[in-house]
Amino acid sequence: QKTSICYLSFPDSYSGGLGDTQFSFRLRQSGGPRTSPFQDDGRYNREAPLTLQREAAHYFGYVYFRQVKDSSMRRGYFQKSLVLVSHLPYVNLFQSLLQLIAPEYFDKLEPCLEAVCNEIDQWPPPVPGQTLNLPVMGVVIQVRIPSRVDKPGSSPVKQFNQENLLPAPLVLPSVHELDLFRCFQPVLIHIQMLWELMLLGEPMVVMAPSPTVSSEMVLALTSVLAPLRYCCDYRPYFTIHDSEFKEYTTRTQAPPNIVVGVTNPFFIKTLQHWPHILRVGELRMSGDLPKQVKVKKLAKLKTLDTKPGIYTSYKTFLHKDKSLIKRLLKGIQRKRPSEVQSALLRRHLLELTQSFIIPLEHYIASLMPLQRAITPWKNPPQIRPFCQEDFMKTLEHAGPQLTCVLKGDWLGLYRRFFKSPNFDGWFRQRHREMTHKLEALHLEAICEADIVAWMKDKSEVEIVDLVLKLREKLVRAQCQHLPVKEETLQRVGLYIDTIIGSLPEDLQAVLHHP
């Protein structure tokens, strides 16, 4: 694993550029799950947006790489990377942190890192919904951790309390959001196609001139579905030394559902059997709409000097949204700041995702049993199964056309979506939430019931069985953190004590000390 991190921390192909560059990577964690330094019993993941959950099976690496001429070095260059490794996808926060630490570290080496680590050790754990002040090297980084209850698309709450902090804090507008407009510059007219490819979890290669462009493009692509979680694998930067290299380059099986960012020209040859390849050049902000790449046939991807373009035979289900391009063009003409253009782009993508997902949310909510069907002394009723054809019938009256002006083959898009890992991930998450809600409603129904009346004509065996079942429910509610009021749990506990108190003493002793 350390070797993998080392390879991923340097450019994979000749990099003539001198100076400092930053990029990110993501790698599979080998071995069993490690314990997190923050033992928060899963609270963070329950309260954070799905797209910002702590990943147990992957590490994110944030790299600050320096390359400068140095005649004292054998190669004639000083080349060094400082890497921050985390389970959290906070690309903005950690790259901003590295901008403060790395230049000092290259200058002063280990003692500088030791001092920084001592400061970071004192930082509070991230709590969704809270604004954190994080002191490091004489600067206070101020940032808000997003929460699942935030309204999608709302800008970060402007509630930064300055607390007369001196020096004034370095305020980050977001822990994770990239400048989408800058990242998508060369592909703005194809944003619709890229959104569909991400939604369907299609295998895709991003070929870029540098790890910076590669990692930013991959992270931007995987963020276009928010607030829907992108459930496939992705590698913002991938090298020929990676342990999964053979798995991805083999031609004996279909490419996996993954977006992979590469820079080594060698990949043009080894990955040319992949169905979608996005080749981009260096990102440069200019005064007008940057040159847009063209969609080209995969057969053209044979030469080493491959031109920028989207190499695919994919036909979009939805028509292009020309109004978005017009609005972005107007912004360029009016010299609108990049962050304003990014907000416009993000809002468009959010509305597109919501138009697609709202009919699914309405349909899955209709599968929940009625509240009156939940009775205290029977197991809660089952959630009805998801039937794709029944869902399709709802689209005529309650489909995406209600909230989205885009025309096209929405039904075909849904049918393809049902086969993707993103549908599977969304459905599992919703089903789990609904099951927890049913359990919570059942506990509340038990609390409202007249337990003494129920016990009157019941045998000891039935009463003991009830105690064991209620105990099991209580433990499950606490372990799974079901959405149940604390007073409901307390009342169930009192119920159990009341029932045990009505039994003969020998049984009471057994039930009190099982």
Domain positions in the chain are 1-31+40-149+166-176, 450-512
**Confidence (pLDDT) at 181:** 92
- H or E element, residue 505: helix 505-512
Residue ranges of the chain whose pLDDT lies below 50: 157, 159
**Confidence (pLDDT) at 293:** 85
C-alpha to C-alpha distance for 298 and 61, rounded to whole angstroms: 32
**Confidence (pLDDT) at 159:** 47
C-alpha to C-alpha distance for 101 and 36, rounded to whole angstroms: 24
Question: Contact, 484 vs 440, CB < 8 A?
Answer: yes
Q: Which DSSP string corresponds to 353-411?
A: HHHHHHHHHHHHHTTSPPGGG--TTSPPPPPPPP-HHHHHHHHHHHSGGGT----B-HH
pLDDT one-digit tens code per residue, 352-399: 999 999 999 999 999 999 888 888 878 888 999 999 999 999 998 888
C-alpha to C-alpha distance for 183 and 236, rounded to whole angstroms: 13
Angle (CA) 41-53-483 rounded to 5° is: 55
Length of the chain: 514
**Confidence (pLDDT) at 392:** 94
H-helix segments, 159-244:
180-183, 191-199, 211-223
Burial class of residue 491, CB neighbours in 10 A (0-12, 13-18, 19+)? middle
Terminal-to-terminal C-alpha distance of the chain: 46
- Residue 39's contacts (CB-CB under 8 Å, 6 or more residues apart) are none
Element counts in the chain: helices (H) and strands (E): 18, 12
Angle (CA) 190-192-195 rounded to 5° is: 110
**Confidence (pLDDT) at 89:** 95
Which residue in the block uniquely carries the two structure tokens 């990676």?
Answer: 242
**Confidence (pLDDT) at 84:** 96
